[in-house]
């Protein structure tokens, strides 16, 4: 291909993707182009992903939501994966990641790419790991060439963004060991690389041969999502020396990717107490020169298993308000099992609530207006309009129709004692 | 009765209730006594509530969670109310409110008081309203004596705290009208009083005869929860002149209640955007001289119907971190229907996550320790211990047992590619 979105933007060109994103966001295309040129916005849009409707991630745009999909060795079913993708799209995900590690990975990915209208991300090292373990070798027996081969394959197939844990370096691992963490590494890709490095006594190939990686990504305009392999896996490990060391490295790698014409996002924690969330966002924005920040949660407690989507929404809302651009969802199954379609739906909706609350706090006019229209519909007791304005009309309708009041105007919470109606009748009689 | 907790504390006496609360919170009884004497902590404990295990609400204590129960005209079933109470207690609610407006209110309240080991609250004006509408009169036909009679009855029966909307004054209503709100009043009790005042062209009896109210409450040590009848019902109305005018009045009434020996909590919003939550808490603490703050949410968006418990958890976590003491839950049914037992359970757990996240951010050692122990259990892959440490073991166990991995040590999210196990085997081999 000729140019990445970043290169085109730098050359002063407004691409079709930029126009589509600008329109969706209610921005001038030229101001979006400048943000892409500066690296503050990424548009993950591999030209080989045929039916993609591009989305932008970054400063000045609405906060986006990603849904992690994919099989595991214990649970690999093509039909279920299709149902999960459908659930994510129905719930309004802005991106999906296929994180499969079970079944026919290439076929599953092809199914996702063929059916996803939103950007598709992967963590290519997973496929490399599955390949070697299927050959009765271990993850530590992978060769660097095998790792790069998977990246090239997936780039050619049309993957829009890839998580690569380039910041898991030997020196970061040394810092991790000396830090004395409770949970060393909980990132799957990060642990694969760390174990490979320890077993082989070698530097991370994605760090050592970073230019080789960038060359492949640039050729297909794959956005690199610089993975945080050392993200904290519990509150006790949050914002520690290991995590921040990796982040400093990711800042250096951001600049090198931009120099090579590759679009960048930075991945962030993880498990972070409420009072450290804002600092994490400000730090990333400074160290990575305003590159889009993609946070995995953050979860604000470790003891919410079964409801970790809620712990994630709390942290995500705060992170988005502080400047995070892209929230990775968590489902009620997190820390317990692979989610099914219902959990995927719930996870996306919950994270969209967090993203929307953050957009409002950041002053985004369209988001504020939506809530105002909902309030006006409530005042008018206009149920059709209320349902249309809900983030999840399907669930809202089901709850209401499962418990209908005697008088259709109100609801069964208060029935004839509805405060809104009383105020209309007594406080503002005659007004609409 | 002889003395309220507040009067006893001022007299230098450590009551049995203070001892129980101090032990539950890991505090010295004497330091708790000082906080009660200063009004910074309330212990809602009506001596007539026989099987009560007292809880404290306020500064220096863990953040507490309330579950609203009760019937409505459209849905009134004693057995369902019992199931809702059981669900709230099983989920770990620290208090419940019986907000019934349908069926035999006295019998329902008796059932709650007999079966609740946690403090029970009510909004007495509801019963007065139900009584007159049952007599073919309207709410506006109530007499002040009828309003006070209900309060005296409920105090005698053992209700531990009562919401009374004393701050809905004629001058506040004038300010409300001139403010130009989107949703004038969404508080049910607030709307009853406002309509009564407008129709009768009279001042709020609970404001005008506040001393009479305090005398009843003092005699039974009922904690007054000064209701926020003018709380915002949507983000557009948050933190406006009407709301703050009422809060200033509540500050004055706090001082008068303390002077009369009555324990006080202050109720707060409502619907508040993320970026206004902290200001709301700081303002209440200053205007009401550190009286315990009981927030109803706050919901950080208006468009989350079907998932308002999540919007509430986001706002509640932030509020708790900023200093709110007591979070009123919201269920997935909010704005749509009266909740059933399952929604009550979900609402309590979700709000407990918010309260726990706030406790951690406020530096509460026991809360931080619980999460640390969970992280250590995860590192050891000790599933029994993980389940024991969960806020909701029941749901966590159900999710895990619904999707069991081939190897029991891990879970179906990653199966044999478990990062925690890889790190144990390669990064720290030989360590426990």
pLDDT tens-digit readout, B223-270: 999 999 999 999 999 999 999 999 999 999 999 999 999 999 999 999
Q: Does B378 touch chain A (CB under 8 A)?
A: yes
CB contact under 8 A, A234 and B403: no
Which tokens is A4 given? 């990445």
Please list every residue in chain A whose beta carbon sits closer than 8 Å to the beta carbon of residue B175: none
At A431 the pLDDT is 73
The predicted pLDDT at position A1 comes to 54
**Structure confidence by residue, pLDDT tens digits, B138-188:** 999 999 999 999 999 999 999 999 999 999 999 999 999 998 899 999 999
Question: Which residues from chain A sit within 8 angstroms of residue B349, using beta carbons?
Answer: 307
Reading phi first (left if > 0) and then psi (alpha if -120 to 50, else beta), residue A190 is in alpha
Residue A74 in contact with partner chain B when CB distance is under 8 A: yes
Q: Least CB-CB distance to B317: which of A300, A372, A417? A: A300
CB contact under 8 A, A184 and B428: yes
- Provide the angle, in degrees to the nearest 10, between the axes of the packed helices B144-157 and B105-115: 30
Instruction: Give me the residue from A126, A338, A392 closest to B306, CB to CB.
Output: A392
pLDDT recorded at residue A2: 77
Q: Where are the domains of chain A?
A: 43-363, 366-426
Write the residue in B301, B420, B426 that is nearest to A183 by C-beta.
B420
Q: Beta partners for A68?
A: A97
Determine contact: B191 vs chain A, CB below 8 A. yes
- What is the pLDDT confidence band of residue B431, given thresholds at 50, 70 and 90? confident
- Bond from prior residue into A189 cis (ω within 30 degrees of 0): no
Mean pLDDT of chain B: 97
A323 phi-psi bin (left φ>0, alpha ψ -120 to 50, beta other):
left
Give me the pLDDT at residue B432, please. Answer: 55
* Min Cα–Cα distance to chain A from B2, Å: 38
Which residues of chain A carry a pLDDT beneath 70? 1, 432
CB A323 within 8 A of CB A281: yes
CB contacts < 8 Å between A and B, how many? 366
d(CA A415, CA B236): 25
Q: Give B 221-240 residues with CB within 8 A of chain A.
A: 233-237
Closest-approach residue (CA) in chain B for A200:
B426
- For the entire predicted model, the pTM comes to 0.98
Locus of tokens 């909010």: B334
pLDDT at B430: 77
- pLDDT for A429: 87
Asked if A134 has any chain B CB less than 8 Å from its own CB, the reply is no
* CA of A245 vs chain B CAs: smallest distance (Å): 18
Residue closest to A197 by CA, chosen among A227, A155, A228, A229: A229
With cut-offs at 50, 70 and 90, classify the pLDDT of residue B387: very high
SS (HEC) of A126-142 = HHHHHHHHHCCCCHHHC
- B78 touching chain A per CB within 8 A: no
Fold of the domain spanning B43-363: TIM Barrel (3.20.20)
Structure tokens given for B112:
């709650």
Predicted pLDDT at B145: 98
Rounded to an integer, what is the distance from CA A430 to the centroid of its chain?
49
Nearest residue on chain B to A276, alpha-carbon basis: B361
State the ipTM, two decimals.
Answer: 0.97
Q: Which residue of A has its CA nearest to B343?
A: A399
Q: Which of A182, A386, A412 sits opposite B305 (nearest CB)?
A: A386
């Amino acid at each position: 291909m000729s140019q990445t979105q970043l290169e085109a933007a730098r050359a002063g060109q407004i691409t079709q993707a930029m126009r589509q994103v600008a329109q969706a966001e209610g921005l001038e295309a030229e101001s979006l182009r400048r943000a892409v040129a500066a690296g503050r916005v990424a548009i993950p849009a591999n030209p080989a992903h045929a039916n993609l409707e591009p989305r932008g991630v970054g400063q000045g745009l609405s906060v986006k939501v990603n849904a992690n999909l994919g099989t595991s060795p214990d649970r690999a079913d093509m039909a279920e994966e299709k149902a999960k993708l459908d659930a994510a799209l129905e719930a309004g995900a802005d991106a999906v990641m296929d994180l499969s590690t079970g079944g026919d990975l290439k076929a599953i990915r092809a199914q996702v790419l063929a059916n996803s209208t939103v950007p598709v991300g992967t963590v290519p090292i997973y496929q490399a790991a599955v390949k070697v373990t299927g050959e009765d070798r271990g993850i530590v027996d992978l060769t660097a060439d095998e790792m790069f081969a998977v990246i090239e394959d997936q780039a050619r197939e049309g993957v829009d963004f890839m998580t690569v844990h380039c910041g898991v370096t030997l020196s970061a691992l040394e810092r991790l060991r000396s830090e004395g963490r409770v949970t060393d590494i909980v990132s799957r890709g990060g642990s694969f690389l760390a174990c490979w490095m320890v077993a082989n006594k070698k530097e991370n190939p994605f760090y050592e041969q970073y230019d080789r990686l960038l060359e492949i990504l640039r050729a297909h305009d794959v956005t690199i999502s610089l993975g945080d392999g050392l993200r904290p896996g519990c509150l006790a490990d949050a914002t520690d020396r290991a995590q921040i060391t990796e982040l400093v490295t990711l800042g250096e790698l951001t600049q090198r990717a931009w120099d090579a014409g590759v679009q960048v996002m930075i991945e962030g924690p993880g498990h972070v107490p409420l009072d450290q969330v804002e600092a994490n966002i400000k730090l990333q924005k400074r160290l990575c020169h305003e590159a889009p920040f993609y946070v995995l949660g953050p979860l604000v407690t470790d003891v919410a298993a079964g409801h970790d989507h809620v712990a994630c929404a709390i942290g995500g809302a705060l992170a988005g308000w502080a400047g995070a651009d892209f929230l990775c969802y968590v489902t009620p199954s997190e820390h317990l099992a692979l989610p099914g379609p219902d959990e995927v739906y719930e996870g996306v909706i919950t994270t969209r609530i967090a993203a929307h609350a953050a957009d409002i706090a950041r002053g985004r006019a369209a988001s504020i207006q939506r809530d105002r229209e909902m309030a006006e519909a409530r005042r008018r007791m206009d149920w059709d309009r209320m349902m249309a304005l809900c983030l999840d009309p399907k669930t809202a309708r089901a709850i209401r129709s499962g418990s209908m009041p005697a008088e259709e105007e109100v609801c069964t919470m208060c029935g004839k004692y509805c405060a809104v109606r009383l105020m209309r009748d007594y406080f503002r009689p005659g007004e609409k």
